[in-house]
């Protein structure tokens, strides 16, 4: 039976999650160089259109209708055929069409996260084709395996409340692989590249934080106690991540930075996503406090040691933060908070959920690596992945879009 309170809540939550993609555009745009800001923001903006259309045509069907071997859905709901105002298989109190709309917002922001790893050097045409293929090869199967009826990872007991595996690990790992395939930006190790607009970063980070309440609390699919619990664990982890990164900045450089605080808040949000509706509130504090040093180590030490050019730290924040969040869910989850978790976490003496979480993380990594290599290989048949050295020096705003974010600016970039 349709519950109007739940409908209202999920309608609002879907709008919150939609706002996250423009927020990401500001966050990534502010972190990028002046000559690439429009291209960086466009790399998120165009996905709002592309992923929405793909979701209606085929994405929802492959993610949530039918089941083929626990890996992917079927074609029975293409063009949202049969997905209407009546409750569907995923909620007894929501119209099936509303569930599809809510999940569409996740399908929009996930591929947008990848673009931070390749900012400043990937051809827009290549990125457009890559996102089409990646959505089909990686995102839709991952959504089905984790959240779909009969999905393989759900069947083995792995849990992911709002997208640790589906959203953050998949996009972060794919971003890393794509960044390695593209190679480093020109002058990457010789020129100090600084964010061109820190206020953009602040705006983007807190639009993301705002939207994340819909992202996580809305994943309860009802206006109930679990949604309230998810909202509180979300905010607590984000707050802890923000403070933790500030402390690291202060210890390392003597001063807390605005970018560090914003980054800490975002990684706190990433880390709590898989466990927001499973872990107690005290555990969300631990998850947020620890994710900042883990991600700080990744972006400041691992990136330099291995030499990959993850331009805006999509892997360092979303990939690593998502992996920690999945592990932490296996440590701290409690089945009495959410019975979707078949077992309690490792800290309560049960190993089974922790093992299922590790399996889920490994499978997500394998699917993301293989899927990215396949998609990039297909794209290369039609176009080069990377812009020319000349275009990179001029900037992708002009060479890829014929626009300038700051037409009156004549100084050095």
When pLDDT is averaged across residues 392-411 and rounded to a whole number, the result is 89
Q: Evaluate whether residue 13 is within a structural domain.
A: yes
Of the chain, the percentage scoring pLDDT greater than 90 comes to 95
Confidence of residue 194 (pLDDT cuts 50, 70, 90): confident
- pLDDT band for position 274 (50/70/90)? very high
Mean pLDDT confidence for 1-15: 96
Q: Give pLDDT tens digits for 207-251.
A: 999 999 999 999 999 999 999 999 999 999 999 999 999 999 999
pLDDT of residue 410: 65
pLDDT in tens, 288-305: 999 999 999 999 999 999
The crossing angle, in degrees rounded to 10, of helices 225-253 and 198-217 is 150
Please state the rounded mean pLDDT for residues 376-392: 96
Q: Supply the pLDDT for residue 188.
A: 78
Q: Can you tell me the mean pLDDT for 391-411?
A: 89
User: Does residue 407 form part of some domain?
Assistant: no
Q: Are 143 and 107 in contact (CB under 8 A)?
A: yes
Where does the pLDDT of residue 28 fall: very low under 50, low under 70, confident under 90, or very high at 90 and above? very high
Number of domains in the chain: 1
Give the residues across from 302 on adjacent strands: none
Q: Is the pLDDT of residue 89 over 90?
A: no
255 pLDDT above the threshold of 70: yes
What pLDDT was estimated at residue 190?
72
Q: Is residue 52 part of a domain?
A: yes
The CATH number linked to 85 is 1.10.3430.10
pLDDT above 70: residue 46:
yes
| Element (DSSP H or E) covering residue 200 | helix 198-217
Query: Does 410 reside within a domain?
Result: no
pLDDT digits (tens, 9 = 90+) for 90-132: 999 999 999 999 999 999 999 999 999 999 999 999 999 999 9
**Integer CA distances (angstroms), 35 to 38, 48, 284, 350, 405, in order:** 8, 23, 39, 52, 8
Q: HSE on the CB side for 338, CA within 13 Å? A: 27
Contacts of 254 (CB under 8 A, 6+ apart): none
pLDDT averaged over the chain? Answer: 96
Mean pLDDT of 201-211: 98
Task: Supply the pLDDT for residue 397.
Answer: 96
pLDDT band (50, 70, 90) for residue 398? very high
In a domain, residue 346? The reply is: yes
pLDDT tier at 335, thresholds 50, 70, 90: very high
Q: Which residues pair with 72 in a beta bridge?
A: 68
88, β-bridge pairs: 91
Q: What's the confidence (pLDDT) of residue 61?
A: 97
Angle at which helix 281-297 crosses helix 258-272, to 10 degrees, equals 130
**Is residue 214 one of the residues assigned to a domain?**
yes
Domain that holds residue 132: 4-401
Separation of alpha carbons 199 and 31, rounded Å: 10
Whole-number pLDDT of residue 413: 59
Mean pLDDT of 254-283: 98
Query: Does residue 306 form part of some domain?
Result: yes
Task: Assess if residue 409 is contained within a domain.
Answer: no
Please check the confidence at residue 409 and state whether its pLDDT lies above 80.
Answer: no
As given in the structure block, the two tokens for residue 282 are: 């005290």
């Amino acid at each position: 039976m349709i519950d109007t309170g739940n409908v209202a809540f999920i309608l609002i939550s879907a709008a919150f999650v939609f706002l996250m993609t423009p927020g990401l555009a500001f966050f990534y745009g502010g972190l990028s160089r002046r000559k690439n800001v429009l291209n960086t923001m466009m790399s998120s903006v165009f996905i709002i259109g592309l992923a929405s259309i793909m979701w209606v045509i085929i994405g929802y069907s492959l993610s949530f209708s039918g089941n083929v071997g626990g890996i992917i859905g079927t074609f029975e709901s293409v063009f949202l055929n049969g997905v209407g105002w009546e409750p569907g298989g995923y909620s007894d109190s929501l119209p099936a069409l509303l569930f599809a709309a809510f999940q569409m917002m996740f399908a929009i922001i996930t591929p947008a996260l990848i673009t931070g790893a390749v900012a400043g050097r990937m051809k827009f045409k290549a990125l457009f084709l890559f996102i089409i293929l990646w959505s089909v090869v990686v995102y839709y199967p991952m959504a089905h395996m984790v959240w779909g009826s009969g999905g393989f990872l759900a069947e083995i007991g792995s849990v992911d409340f709002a997208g640790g595996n589906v959203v953050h690990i998949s996009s972060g790992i794919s971003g890393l692989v794509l960044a390695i395939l593209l190679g480093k930006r020109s002058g990457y190790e010789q020129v100090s590249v600084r964010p061109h607009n820190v206020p953009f970063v602040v705006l983007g980070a807190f639009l993301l934080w705002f939207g994340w309440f819909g992202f996580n609390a809305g994943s309860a699919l009802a206006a109930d106690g679990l949604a309230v619990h998810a909202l509180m664990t979300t905010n607590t982890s984000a707050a802890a991540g923000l403070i933790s990164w500030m402390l690291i900045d202060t210890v390392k450089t003597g001063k807390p930075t605005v970018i560090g605080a914003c980054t800490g808040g975002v990684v706190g949000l990433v880390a709590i996503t898989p466990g927001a509706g499973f872990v107690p509130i005290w555990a969300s504090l631990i998850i947020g406090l620890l994710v900042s040093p883990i991600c700080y180590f990744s972006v400041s030490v691992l990136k330099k040691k291995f030499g990959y050019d993850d331009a805006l730290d999509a892997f360092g924040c979303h990939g690593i933060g998502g992996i920690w969040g999945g592990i932490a869910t296996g440590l701290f989850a409690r089945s009495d908070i959410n019975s979707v978790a078949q077992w309690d976490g490792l800290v309560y003496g049960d190993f089974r959920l922790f093992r299922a979480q590790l399996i889920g993380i490994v499978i997500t990594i394998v699917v993301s690596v293989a899927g990215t290599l396949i998609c990039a290989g297909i794209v290369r048949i039609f176009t080069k992945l990377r812009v020319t050295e000349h275009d990179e020096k001029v900037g992708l705003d002009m060479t890829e879009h014929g626009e300038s974010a700051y037409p009156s600016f004549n100084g050095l970039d």
